[in-house]
Structure 1
Amino acid sequence: MKTLVAFLLGTALVALPSTLFAQEKGGVINVATIGEPPTLDPMSSTADLVGIVTQHIFETLYTFDKSWNVTPLLAESLPEVSDDGKTYTIKLRTGIKFHDNSDMTSEDVVASLNRWMKIASRGKQVAGFIDKITAADPATVTITLKQPYAPLTSLLAFNNSAAIIIPAEKQDEPMKEFIGTGPYMLKERKADQYIQLVRFDGYKSPEGDSNGYGGARHQYLDEIRFVPVPDPNTRVEAAISGQYDYVDSIPVESYDKLKDSTASQPVMLKPFGYPVFVFNTKEGVAGNVEVRKAIRQALSMEDMLAAAFGSKDFYALDGAIYPKSFSWSTDAGVEGAYNVADPEGAAAAAKKAGYNGEPIRILTSRQYEFHYKMAQVAAEYLKLAGFTVDMQVVDWATLTQRRTDPKLWDIYITHSPFLPEPALIGSLSTSSPGWWDTPARKAAVDAFTSEVDPKKRVALWADVQKAVYADAPFMKIGDFNAVSAKSVKLEGVDPAPWPYFWNASIKK
């Protein structure tokens, strides 16, 4: 499956990898994250934080190279696809060991993919298209589809709600033992203190040069420690002082301060992705599509972006889900529905829709400070439109838990990198929090995912975006650039939306 992405994430995965230079082996790095991950089972969560940590422990059959093409990881090669597009034959790499030193076989892959389809939101997205998954021999897996499904390999490659491969006999729900095939294995987790990963000596790296998330995965480091640092200002000061080797998610207004630091340097992804307000379409006041549209009508996306990111160096006003640098970019459905900033008109629309003063429960977190700033601006516009606003500010782990219960919220605020395959967008799945499930969604999304011709898929994606604007399951706020920081002593870490630390080393 070839992706249609015409650009690379900023200069992210384009630069020559630092691993071209000689690197030292040994040492420990400390990585400051935005908080404590809600789980270490990447199948059961779509939180980016979970993927960032667990991609070092667990691996998938495929991953993405620096050009966002699907590339083999635990698979030996890309799948052989039958002429009718319904049968995928996947050859596995041999000699792969799990962290308990057992050998990976097709039996483990079949069991893992079945678990993925049962508990992962993206696995559930695929499940309806799959007839059966079988082990043809110890090193071959066959996936038989009911109909062609173009995004399959991209979904198998994604590290978010990930189709990780774990031992067939360790498929507990919830996961009890964190046994993967990755270059690092879990040694210790102390809640709210650190997650300690150590080198797995039995690791078998893919061959070839390092290439984005694909290719060789070197184990230069002895140990990686992920440390939760929920307060964004604390993360900034820690980066400036060099307290951590890598600091994730720095408020963009700290970019200049970081440039002046002698201990760390800023890392910017441009453009990174988009903030998004997700509606609960299943229950509560936001279950009414006309109320959702009235809320959208009230809001100034421009003011929210300005409050969140300050300088236009860090954001762009854009209602299209993909920016112009993507072949997926389309204006379908956007006109008249984005950045309307009309509280008075929204008040009339809400009244006509039957809104009667019920609280709009907005779920957000200060661990991503830009989420909170956008929520503050949105609340003021909604109040001007006559809405009652109940702002619920919680830590990120709590937010990811609460959003799974449709009784607890009406809007939650999150963000997403621009993904190489639109079908990876979580909100398109009926099982993702928000639970968008209408005839318009089904018609547009099913047509898009069942088409394999790349040119036809671009046109069909425009229909999906039209349906998003017509049903308002979520609101894109705009485009933004992401800033992190890394120590001047840290080598081999190339900018990426989910930073990874195989290939990283410490300059001696």
Structure 2
Amino acid sequence: METRLPKRASLLAAFLAGTALASPLAAQTTLDVAIVGDPDTFDPMVSTKDVVSIVTQHFVETLYTFDSGWNVAPLLATDLPQISDDGLTYKIGIREGVTFHDGSSMDAKDVVASLERWLEVASRGKLVADKVASVEATGDYEVTITLTEAYSPLLSLLAFSNSAAAVYPEEIIGDTIDPVIGTGPYKIAEHVPDQYLQLVRFDEYSSRSEEPDGAAGARKQTVDEIRFVPVPDPNTRVEGLLSGQFDFADGLPAESYDRLDSSDAADPMLLQPFGWPVFAINHKDGLMTDKTIRQAVQAALPMDDMLFAAFGDDKFFLTDGPLYPEGWAWRNEAGIELFNQNDQARAAELLQEAGYDGTPLRILTSRQYEFHFKMAEVARMALEAAGFTVQMDVVDWATLGERRNDPALWDIYITHSPFLPEPSLTDMYSKTSRLGWSNPEKDEILAHFTSETDPEKRKELYAQLQGQVFEDVGFIKIGAFNALSGLAEGLTGVTETPWPFFWNAESAE
């Protein structure tokens, strides 16, 4: 049996000392990646921000991940779990020989402590927490999760890098984790806030042996160093990519596509379909707790105009009501007659019915995703035409992330989401999310949906859930859009995904 390496004390001191001394060598290969902002945490359990997921997946890992077909695949687990016939028991084998960045070895105790924290602090962990009877180490390298009722999305939750069920050494588990210590192919060498995050290859990394397939399979650590550079202005990201300053740039404006396409220095990477812009609704406090006012907002919004203002060319967007695009199993037509009403007169009637008194409708948005701001500006004009008093709160993305956690500070915040393989990964459906959306009918449908294992029955239940989104205005989908990133000419091995990763990337230079 493998000898368990000692933890903390001298190992942690050595880890921190090594981190402080780390510096790039002239012979190293380095990728410079421009991202939309500085992550406000390196603990992916406590964040649903894409910028956090993009960065942290390089140094923190989960039991499972997704392959290129969005199928769940093992990462730190040995294989897919053994699931009991009643769907209540998941027996998960844990890989041996995996080392944390502090030099200690991973075993079942680390996984148990990490999963227990995830169930308590992560927004997606909370989705299943009330259904988990126990998480136990049933061997040195085996963990058993016992549920009180079947929960069909569990493996997808365990595989997601966003609000992630990350595995940490048990000794560092607490309300906050600093420094973050993971098992990933890279480790943190240096972080200068608002300037860069330097990751260097972790020499003791234990890669899977399968061929790379999406985020599954081998993570080859092809480059020595990855530098994530926060660049809040989207046009600066474009110019930096075209000038050779960056090897990859995320979240680029649609109007830069032609420049990238005709450039000898860079190429566009267009993800289509990527996802959907969302007006997230505050159901906990303020104006939007009134259903009639929510319906007035929904009635007033001109989705075509908002999308055109945001993206400028219809090759980048689609005015589409269903919550999933064509070709996805979850697509249905329930409730879409309430999509894209663009009827300010009807909205005004609803405001009168609600007894609206002119209280400002607070829209929280950011210009780091420029299309968010552009949609908000068009929405503001339509809402004012309907009789709303609108207050635009435009902040940086990090501040938006903080404010949206306080329901006293906003009525709507603007975000976006990729289309996800399992609807339950979108935590906005749950009453435990920061939106706090809850009504008896929706809650009952959601409970049935997450406990049902038959795929056809789940589709029927999801159609009912989508109907509730429109009828009760749980949140507001604006449409569908394609996302643009860019990569330097000659850069290969970057998978087209909403959360780009670079452990298999290789530059021609």
User: TM-score, normalized by length of structure 1?
Assistant: 0.94
Please list the CA deviations of residues 393-430 of structure 1 after superposition, one character each: whole Å capped at 9, or x if unmatched.
10101101100000000000000000000000120122
Alpha carbons 1:111, 1:171 under 8 Å: kept: yes
| Paired position in structure 2 for 1:225 | 227
Please list the CA deviations of residues 377-404 of structure 1 after superposition, one character each: whole Å capped at 9, or x if unmatched.
0000000000000001101011011000
| Paired position in structure 1 for 2:14 | none
State the 1:26 CA deviation: 4.4
> Which of 68, 76, 79 is residue 78 of structure 2 equivalent to?
76
Please list the CA deviations of residues 43-63 of structure 1 after superposition, one character each: whole Å capped at 9, or x if unmatched.
011000000000001000000
| Paired position in structure 1 for 2:137 | 135
Structure 2 CA distance for aligned equivalents of residues 368 and 255 of structure 1: 16
Structure 1 CA distance for aligned equivalents of residues 294 and 332 of structure 2: 22
Please list the CA deviations of residues 86-106 of structure 1 after superposition, one character each: whole Å capped at 9, or x if unmatched.
000000111111001111011
- Within a 5 Å distance, the mapping from 1:62-141 to structure 2 comes to 62-141=64-143
Structure 1 CA distance for aligned equivalents of residues 257 and 80 of structure 2: 40
SS in 2 for 1:213: coil
State the 1:131 CA deviation: 0.6
Alpha carbons 1:272, 1:417 under 8 Å: kept: yes
| Paired position in structure 1 for 2:377 | 376
State the 1:468 CA deviation: 1.1
Structure 1 CA distance for aligned equivalents of residues 471 and 289 of structure 2: 14
SS in 1 for 2:407: coil
SS in 1 for 2:484: strand
Q: Which one has more relative contact order, counting CA pairs under 8 Å at least 6 apart?
A: 1
> Which of 152, 155, 158 is residue 156 of structure 1 equivalent to?
158
SS in 2 for 1:303: helix
| Paired position in structure 1 for 2:352 | 351
State the 1:225 CA deviation: 0.5
Structure 2 CA distance for aligned equivalents of residues 303 and 287 of structure 1: 27
| Paired position in structure 1 for 2:237 | 235
Structure 1 CA distance for aligned equivalents of residues 270 and 434 of structure 2: 29
Give the partner amino acid of 1:101.
Answer: G
CA RMSD of aligned residues (A): 0.9
Which shifted more, 356-365 or 436-445? 436-445
| Paired position in structure 2 for 1:387 | 388
Give the partner amino acid of 1:462.
Answer: A
SS in 2 for 1:234: helix
Alpha carbons 1:26, 1:505 under 8 Å: kept: no
SS in 1 for 2:409: coil
Alpha carbons 1:122, 1:429 under 8 Å: kept: no
Give the partner amino acid of 1:226.
Answer: F
Which shifted more, 348-357 or 405-414? 348-357
Structure 2 CA distance for aligned equivalents of residues 211 and 383 of structure 1: 49
- Within a 5 Å distance, the mapping from 1:171-182 to structure 2 comes to 171-182=173-184
SS in 1 for 2:501: coil
- Within a 5 Å distance, the mapping from 1:16-415 to structure 2 comes to 26-335=28-337, 337-415=338-416
Which shifted more, 45-54 or 428-437? 428-437
Structure 2 CA distance for aligned equivalents of residues 97 and 274 of structure 1: 38
Structure 2 CA distance for aligned equivalents of residues 420 and 431 of structure 1: 21
SS in 1 for 2:55: helix
SS in 1 for 2:383: helix
Alpha carbons 1:240, 1:258 under 8 Å: kept: yes
Alpha carbons 2:114, 2:165 under 8 Å: kept: yes
Structure 2 CA distance for aligned equivalents of residues 175 and 396 of structure 1: 22
Alpha carbons 2:364, 2:412 under 8 Å: kept: yes
State the 1:348 CA deviation: 1.0
Structure 1 CA distance for aligned equivalents of residues 153 and 28 of structure 2: 39
SS in 2 for 1:382: helix
SS in 1 for 2:199: strand
SS in 1 for 2:144: strand
Please list the CA deviations of residues 433-479 of structure 1 after superposition, one character each: whole Å capped at 9, or x if unmatched.
21112212211110100001111111111011111112212100001
% identity of equivalent residues: 54
Alpha carbons 1:333, 1:469 under 8 Å: kept: yes
Please list the CA deviations of residues 8-58 of structure 1 after superposition, one character each: whole Å capped at 9, or x if unmatched.
xxxxxxxxxxxxxxxxx9401110000111111100110000000000010
Structure 1 CA distance for aligned equivalents of residues 112 and 499 of structure 2: 27
Alignment partner of 1:476 is 2:477: yes
Alpha carbons 1:38, 1:401 under 8 Å: kept: no
Alignment partner of 1:463 is 2:464: yes
Structure 1 CA distance for aligned equivalents of residues 67 and 479 of structure 2: 26
SS in 1 for 2:170: coil
Give the partner amino acid of 1:309.
Answer: F
Alpha carbons 1:26, 1:220 under 8 Å: kept: no
Please list the CA deviations of residues 199-218 of structure 1 after superposition, one character each: whole Å capped at 9, or x if unmatched.
00010011210000100101
Structure 2 CA distance for aligned equivalents of residues 159 and 283 of structure 1: 30
Structure 2 CA distance for aligned equivalents of residues 261 and 110 of structure 1: 50
Structure 1 CA distance for aligned equivalents of residues 96 and 442 of structure 2: 41
Contiguous gaps of at least 5 residues in structure 2: 1-26
| Paired position in structure 2 for 1:4 | none
Please list the CA deviations of residues 149-174 of structure 1 after superposition, one character each: whole Å capped at 9, or x if unmatched.
00000000000000000000011222
Structure 1 CA distance for aligned equivalents of residues 502 and 286 of structure 2: 42
Alpha carbons 1:188, 1:196 under 8 Å: kept: yes
Structure 2 CA distance for aligned equivalents of residues 492 and 315 of structure 1: 27
| Paired position in structure 1 for 2:23 | none
Alpha carbons 1:332, 1:463 under 8 Å: kept: yes
Please list the CA deviations of residues 284-326 of structure 1 after superposition, one character each: whole Å capped at 9, or x if unmatched.
0011111011101011111100110111111001110001110
Contiguous gaps of at least 5 residues in structure 1: 1-24
SS in 1 for 2:336: coil
| Paired position in structure 1 for 2:447 | 446
Alpha carbons 1:278, 1:411 under 8 Å: kept: yes
| Paired position in structure 2 for 1:11 | none
| Paired position in structure 1 for 2:16 | none
Give the partner amino acid of 1:280.
Answer: N
Alpha carbons 2:468, 2:474 under 8 Å: kept: no
Give the partner amino acid of 2:193.
Answer: A
| Paired position in structure 1 for 2:493 | 492
Alpha carbons 2:127, 2:427 under 8 Å: kept: no
Aligned residues: 483
| Paired position in structure 1 for 2:430 | 429
State the 1:354 CA deviation: 2.2
Alpha carbons 2:62, 2:165 under 8 Å: kept: yes
Give the partner amino acid of 1:314.
Answer: F
Structure 2 CA distance for aligned equivalents of residues 253 and 213 of structure 1: 29
SS in 2 for 1:371: helix
Structure 1 CA distance for aligned equivalents of residues 379 and 437 of structure 2: 22
